[in-house]
Amino acid sequence: MEEEAEAEEQQRFSYQQRLKAAVHYTVGCLCEEVALDKEMQFSKQTIAAISELTFRQCENFAKDLEMFARHARRTTINTEDVKLLARRSNSLLKYITDKSEEIAQTNLERKARKKKKSENGNHNSRELAEAGVVESEK
């Protein structure tokens, strides 16, 4: 029994390590962009520190988001919850609010395009189906 618990603990640990590695990679890419833009290099330790910080900040974010959603009697976290997260700085809140509208707009357009495509598809397949029915009746 103890071995099982230990194995589970190991699995959880290595999963977290893989997540941390993924975060580290993304942080590295973002810092590289900033470094190019500002013409200033980052030490490896700095990138590692930002990466560790981001990973830990996710824990705070996740717990807050879960609580916000539960407070609103929901199980699904939505964009309103995320906006609440960004409340501490006015400029951050504004940026996130604008982004939220941009995302909503983009997704709306994508859905409209998809719907149009599927309507055309249905129209074509209905024509084919009717043709098929006529065939078999013969």
The closest alpha carbon to 23, from 48, 46, 43, belongs to 48
How many chain residues touch another protein (CB under 8 A)? 58
Does residue number 76 form part of the binding site for another protein (CB under 8 A)? yes
Kindly state the tokens that stand for 62.
């996740």
* Residue 32, both tokens: 């590289």
Radius of gyration of the chain (CA): 25
Cβ contacts of residue 95 below 8 Å, gap of 6+? Answer: 86
User: Using CA atoms, how far apart are residues 40 and 123, in angstroms rounded to an integer?
Assistant: 57
What is the rounded CA–CA span in Å between residue 54 and residue 51? Answer: 5
Whichever of 8 and 66 has its CB closer to another protein, that residue is 66
User: Which residue number, 107 or 120, has a Cβ lying nearer to another protein?
Assistant: 107
Cβ distance to another protein smaller for residue 34 or 129: 34
Site for another protein in 49-68 (CB under 8 A): 49-50, 53-55, 57-59, 61-63, 65-66
Per CB under 8 A, residues contacting another protein are 15-16, 19, 22-23, 26-27, 29-35, 38, 40-43, 45-46, 49-50, 53-55, 57-59, 61-63, 65-66, 69-70, 75-79, 81-83, 85-86, 88-89, 92, 95-96, 99-100, 102-104, 106-107
